[in-house]
């Protein structure tokens, strides 16, 4: 049957990086493939959101460089909650430079991403070497960006194929962001998820969780505004968790 996929258990056997395996373990334990993107500029708002949705998610995605009142007490507290509630912290830094600069951006500056994040995102525009020699801690993984959810992006099939190849060859890469099926040895992360919206007027495109799993072979859905801007993020997160989990089970 066309849409069949391998289970998370089978996928875990193909993923060698410990953080990839850990993410799958969390997903199976909590029955959730939902990653919430907390694109908020205020630490109190992020912590409030996490208190409402922490039980429903396998990962929390951050853009720490948008936070006005970033501090280590915030990050330490968030780290503690992530361990208690069992979810991973993803910093969506989208590194996109040569290896030396990527390395500096990962380890230094105000945010010292490598000191707390479980996963960081990176483009591979600058080539395979750009994501090598980053001195990542052994328990930190990379997610590459092979194809974005926005419309009018510059990614063509050739670029995407090459980005996927670079991802497969780098042992630090646990998976990728793309809008299509990828090799089973990569975890596939799908942003641009919404129950009702198809496009927003700022260039992002959206698909339903069912489409993400049936058509694209997604492993994890990433949901931002649909949850954190909803009237009741707790209930909405549960709706997306449930939809993502059912969509996964339906293609098994």
Q: Which residues bind ligand BMP (CB under 6 A)?
A: 37, 39, 63, 92, 148-149, 177, 191-192, 204, 222-226
Q: Which is nearer to ligand BMP, 12 or 89 (CB)?
A: 89
Q: Confirm whether 112 is a catalytic residue.
A: no
215 is catalytic: no
Angstrom CA distances, 52 to 57, 151, 207, 229, stand at 10, 32, 24, 13
Dihedral-angle region of residue 41 (phi above 0 means left; psi in -120 to 50 means alpha; beta otherwise):
alpha
**Nearest approach, Cβ of 194 to ligand BMP (angstroms)?**
7
Q: Least Å distance between CB 62 and ligand BMP?
A: 9
Report, in Å, the least distance between residue 170 CB and ligand BMP. 19
Is 25 a catalytic site residue? no
Question: CA 185 → CA 41, 181, 245, distances in Å?
Answer: 35, 11, 21
Give the shortest CB-56-to-ligand BMP separation in angstroms: 16
Q: Choosing from 31, 94, 162, 225, which is the catalytic residue?
A: 94
Of the pair 12, 64, the CB lying nearest ligand BMP is at 64
Q: Which residues sit opposite 177 in a β-bridge?
A: 145, 189
CA dist., res. 102 & res. 94, Å (int): 10
CB atoms within 10 A of CB 20: 23
Question: Residue number with the shortest CB distance to ligand BMP?
Answer: 224
Which residue lies nearer to ligand BMP by CB, 12 or 182? Answer: 182
Determine which helix (DSSP H) or strand (DSSP E) holds 188, and give its type and residue range.
strand 187-190
Q: Write out the catalytic residue numbers.
A: 92, 94, 97
């Amino acid at each position: 049957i066309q849409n069949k996929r391998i289970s998370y258990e089978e996928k875990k056997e193909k993923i060698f990086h410990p953080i990839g395996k850990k993410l799958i373990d969390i997903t199976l334990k909590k029955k959730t493939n939902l990653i919430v993107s907390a694109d908020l500029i205020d630490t109190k708002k992020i912590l409030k959101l996490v208190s409402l949705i922490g039980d429903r998610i396998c990962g929390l995605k951050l853009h720490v460089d948008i936070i006005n009142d970033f501090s280590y007490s915030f990050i330490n507290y968030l780290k503690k909650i992530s361990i208690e509630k069992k979810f991973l912290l993803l910093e969506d830094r989208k590194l996109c430079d040569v290896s030396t600069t990527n390395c500096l951006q990962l380890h230094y500056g105000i945010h010292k991403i490598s000191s707390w994040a479980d996963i960081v995102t990176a483009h591979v525009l600058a080539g395979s070497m750009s994501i090598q020699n980053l001195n990542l801690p052994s328990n930190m993984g990379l997610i590459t960006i092979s194809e974005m959810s926005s419309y009018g992006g510059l990614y063509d099939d050739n670029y995407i194929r090459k980005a996927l190849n670079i991802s497969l060859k780098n042992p630090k890469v646990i998976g990728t962001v793309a809008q299509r099926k990828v090799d089973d040895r990569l975890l596939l992360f799908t942003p641009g998820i919404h129950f009702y919206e198809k496009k927003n007027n700022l260039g992002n495109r959206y698909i339903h969780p069912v489409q993400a799993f049936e058509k694209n072979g997604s492993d994890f859905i990433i949901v931002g505004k649909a949850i954190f801007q909803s009237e009741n993020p707790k209930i909405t997160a549960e709706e997306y968790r449930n939809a993502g989990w059912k969509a996964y089970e339906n293609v098994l």
